[in-house]
Amino acid sequence: MIRRKTEVFAVKLIGRVSLAALVLSPSRSQACACGCGVFDVGTSSMFPKGPGGMFMLEEDYQHQDQNWSGTSKAPAANNDDKGIRTHFVTAGFQYMFNYKWGFQAEVPYVNRSFRTTGGATGNEIVSFNWGDLGDIRLRGIYTGLSEDLSAGLTFGVKLPSGNYTHNNEFGDIDRDTEIGSGSTDLLLGGFYRHGFMGLRHWTWFGQTELDVPLFIRDDYRPGTELDAVLGLYFGGWSIGPVGITPIGQVKGSFRTSDGGANSAHPVASGYERVLISPGIEVDWHPFSLYGDVEFPVYQRMTGNQLVAPALFKIVLSYHF
């Protein structure tokens, strides 16, 4: 829910909707369930416009089935992990107490399917399917930088609420593939929006969030991640009372490699990537519906990692 990430609305929307609405063993090359953080950043709809609140229900999906090393595809045989499907369903709440201060909470539930090499012999293809609560994110919002609330800062924590111990008797699920990271993270971000070149109905916006793990568990430190978004939207279309807003975004992510004794060895985590994301938002007050698809146009992966050819997002919001 910025959002992502994370981490979501638009039109008068963008005027009113998203700051954020989000996980990637030792002796082998591992896939990482990477890229969740970018879900938390980049939807245009959570930018506050004044006092009031929003409930949100978001679904994200990615299917990581391509092995990638460096800036290109790599043979599947180079990676013991063969596929990761992940559905994220996130319940979110945002409330602005006044024209300067607000609060946001995101509670995800994650369902994951995972195929890897392991089992009793260490050479079998084994499959897992499990679901659990993910890591909860809590943020404060400050919009006192400008009278029109066009600029703001976010600050908060990611809690270690997600399960990071799900496994079989052979330990085939590694820490970077668990639903929870086990870490408590500091979240720092900001956003800005402004009219585009003086053109009527056109607005550009930027958004960023830094995720820094502070406290870790069981000798596993997730990488530090920086997500950023630059977007443009047109708010001049409507059909009766329904506003229609096309949105284009460029999203960038940078994540350092994981650390600790329980991270992947050889190193198979950390990445840089750029995605383009066409989207649309439909606003029929007090409801809004937002959707986009995110396509990687540049990826640089450390080691061998599974990547997805596209990431999908849909968000239903209620404003009050």
Helix/strand/coil (H/E/C) assignment for every residue in 185-203: EEEEEEEEEEECCCCCCEE
pLDDT at position 264: 86
Q: Please, which pLDDT band fits residue 109 given cuts at 50, 70 and 90?
A: very high
Mean pLDDT of the 265-280 span: 94
Higher pLDDT, 320 or 8: 320
- Is residue 6, in this structure, part of any structural domain at all? no
Mean pLDDT of the 293-298 span: 98
- Is residue 8, in this structure, part of any structural domain at all? no
pTM for the model: 0.87
Decide: 166 and 177 in contact? Cβ < 8 Å: no
Sign of the dihedral through C-alpha 302, 273, 193, 17 = negative
163, β-bridge pairs = none
SS3 for 87?
A: strand
SS3 for 77?
A: helix
- Is residue 106, in this structure, part of any structural domain at all? yes
Q: Please, which pLDDT band fits residue 256 given cuts at 50, 70 and 90?
A: very high
Among residues 111, 104, 78, which one has the least CA distance to residue 1?
Answer: 104
Tokens of 259: 């650390």
Q: Is pLDDT above 80 for 298?
A: yes
Higher pLDDT, 70 or 19: 70
Q: Is pLDDT above 70 for 72?
A: yes
- Is residue 215, in this structure, part of any structural domain at all? yes
What is the extent of the structural domain holding 61?
Answer: 36-319
SS3 for 132?
A: strand
| Interval 166-225: pLDDT, tens | 999 999 999 999 999 999 999 999 999 999 998 999 999 999 999 999 999 999 999 999
Decide: 175 and 218 in contact? Cβ < 8 Å: yes
- Is residue 265, in this structure, part of any structural domain at all? yes
Mean pLDDT of the 3-23 span: 37
Sign of the dihedral through C-alpha 146, 148, 150, 155 = positive
- Is residue 164, in this structure, part of any structural domain at all? yes
Q: How many domains would you assign to the chain?
A: 1
Which of 14-28, 136-150, 226-240, 301-315 is least confident?
14-28
Burial class (CB within 10 angstroms; exposed 0-12, middle 13-18, buried 19+) of 117: middle
- Is residue 49, in this structure, part of any structural domain at all? yes
Higher pLDDT, 197 or 9: 197
Tokens of 212: 């820094």
Give me the CATH number covering residue 234.
2.40.128.130
- Is residue 161, in this structure, part of any structural domain at all? yes
Mean pLDDT of the 289-317 span: 96
